[in-house]
């Protein structure tokens, strides 16, 4: 469980990212140290992951919030088992047996811009993205949405 210093540092990072993207983790470490927070590259990397931050061509930023999409994926979080990129434009999402159609419907209803389309089988959903960056952003969104569900963390 993170201590208060970690929580305050994460909140400081979140506030910095709300003002715009930060180019590198090193620049974020320097900004945090200047503001009086103890930060290293590894602690900042963990904090960014916990916040669901994504790396874009402009730098690290928070994903656009789409509460409806987050709610859709949080509702099926307990059905998710694993994710694997399959090339730059395809994400393979493994689900509980018989749950892929429900998860595919959640992707459809999320209206996330990273999702071009998907196909659900029995325990696997293939999700098409328009680029490798979109795929990485989608993975971050899924992980963040699944983590926000109190009952279970998606690993």
99-124, pLDDT tens digit by residue?
Answer: 999 999 999 888 888 899 999 999 99
pLDDT band at 1 (very low <50, low <70, confident <90, very high): very low
Q: Domain check: are 56 and 32 in the same one? A: yes
Q: Is the pLDDT of residue 2 over 50?
A: no
Asked if residue 126 is part of any domain, the answer here is: yes
Asked if residue 113 is part of any domain, the answer here is: yes
Which residue range forms the structural domain that includes residue 45? 4-61
- Burial (CB < 10 A; 0-12, 13-18, 19+), residue 22, is buried
Full DSSP string of the chain: ---HHHHHHHHHHHHHHHT--BS-HHHHHHHHHHTT----HHHHHHHHHHHT-EEETTEEEPPPP-HHHHHHHHHTGGGEEEEEE-STTEEEEEESTT-HHHHHHHHHHH--TT--EEEE-SSEEEEE-SSHHHHHHHHHHHHHHHHTSTT----
What's the confidence (pLDDT) of residue 66? 54
22-50, pLDDT tens digit by residue?
Answer: 889 999 999 999 999 999 999 999 888 88
Q: Domain check: are 102 and 136 in the same one? A: yes
Asked if residue 153 is part of any domain, the answer here is: no
* Predicted model pTM: 0.57
Give the angle subtended at the CA of 67 by the CAs of 63 and 70, to the nearest 5°: 75
Domain count, the chain: 2
Q: Domain check: are 73 and 142 in the same one? A: yes
What's the confidence (pLDDT) of residue 99? 93
Q: Average pLDDT of 76-83?
A: 92
């Amino acid at each position: 469980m993170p201590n208060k210093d970690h929580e305050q540092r994460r909140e400081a990072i979140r506030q910095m990212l709300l003002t715009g993207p930060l180019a590198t983790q090193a620049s974020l470490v320097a900004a945090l140290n200047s503001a009086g927070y103890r930060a290293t590259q590894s602690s900042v990397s963990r904090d960014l992951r916990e916040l669901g931050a994504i790396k874009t061509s402009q730098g690290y930023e928070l994903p656009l919030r789409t509460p409806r999409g987050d709610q859709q994926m949080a509702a099926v979080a307990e059905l998710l088992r694993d994710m694997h990129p399959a090339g730059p434009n395809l994400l393979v999402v493994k689900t509980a047996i018989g749950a892929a159609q429900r998860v595919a419907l959640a992707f459809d209803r999320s209206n996330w811009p990273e999702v071009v389309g998907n196909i659900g089988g029995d325990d696997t959903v293939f999700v098409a993205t328009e680029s490798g960056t979109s795929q990485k952003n989608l993975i971050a969104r899924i992980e963040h949405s699944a983590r926000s569900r109190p009952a279970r963390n998606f690993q």
